[in-house]
Amino acid sequence: MLARAAVGGNTETIGSGGAKLRRSGKAIDAMEKPIQSFGSASAGAAGEPTLAGALRRAGAAWGSFAHGTGVHLQAAGELASNTSADLTCAGG
């Protein structure tokens, strides 16, 4: 099928960018659990109470941050990939 040269541009190219973003989104989203585990495990071994507290919070903060960033990338990928919907949705 030929790429559709829509008002918004070549949808096939936009879609391939979107696929990359979705893949990165999933990869970064999957970092949430290892980061959280790191936070709990390191806090348990730290000894120094202020460091233990900071590490526990780091696991929560950066685990959630990775999840949020993953969701953002999946949203960006969705917008770019779903060419029939996104150009309408995007006003292109």
Partner 1 sequence: MDGFELPPGDPDALLSSLRPLEPVIKDLSTQSGRVKSGFATALSEWQGARADDFRMASAGVQAQVLAAHDCLHDIHTAVSSYAKTLRSAIHQIKDLEKQAEARRKSATAHTGHGPASAAPDPGQMMAAQHAQTQIAHLQQEAEKLRRHVKTAGQHAARVVEQANNAAVPNSESLTPSEISRKVLSRMDVRSVRSVSAANAWSVLSSTEKIVPRNAVLPDGSVDASKLADDLTGKGGEGQEDGGLLEDVLQVKEDVENYFMRPREIPASVADTVQLLALAGVNYRRVNVKELLNAAKSPSALKAYIADHPNLVRLGEEDKLTERLETISKALTGGEIEKANGFLKGTGAWEKGTKAAGDWLAKTARDEGLGIALKGALLGPDGKLAAGGETMAKIGGKMIEVSPKISEAFSKVAPALGTFGKALGPLGVALQAGTTAKDLADKKYGAALLDGSQTVLMGASLLAPPPADLICGAAALGIMAWQHREAIGHFAEKVGDDVAHGAEKVGGGIVHGAEKLGHVFGL
Q: Is 4 in the site for partner 1 (CB under 8 A)?
A: no
Q: Is 78 in the site for partner 1 (CB under 8 A)?
A: yes
Q: Is 63 in the site for partner 1 (CB under 8 A)?
A: yes
The span from the CA of 25 to the CA of 72, in Å, is 7
Q: How many residues bind partner 1 (CB under 8 A)?
A: 67
Tokens of 69: 């960033």
Residue 59 CB-density burial (10 A; 0-12 exposed, 13-18 middle, 19+ buried): buried
Site for partner 1, residues 17 to 56, rule: CB under 8 A: 17-21, 23-24, 27-28, 31, 34-35, 37-39, 41-42, 44-48, 50-51, 53-56
Q: Helix, strand, or coil here: 6?
A: strand
Rounded to 5°, angle at Cα 64 from 60 and 67: 150
Q: Helix, strand, or coil here: 82?
A: coil
Residues that bind partner 1 (CB under 8 A): 7-11, 13-14, 16-21, 23-24, 27-28, 31, 34-35, 37-39, 41-42, 44-48, 50-51, 53-69, 71-80, 82, 85-87, 89-92
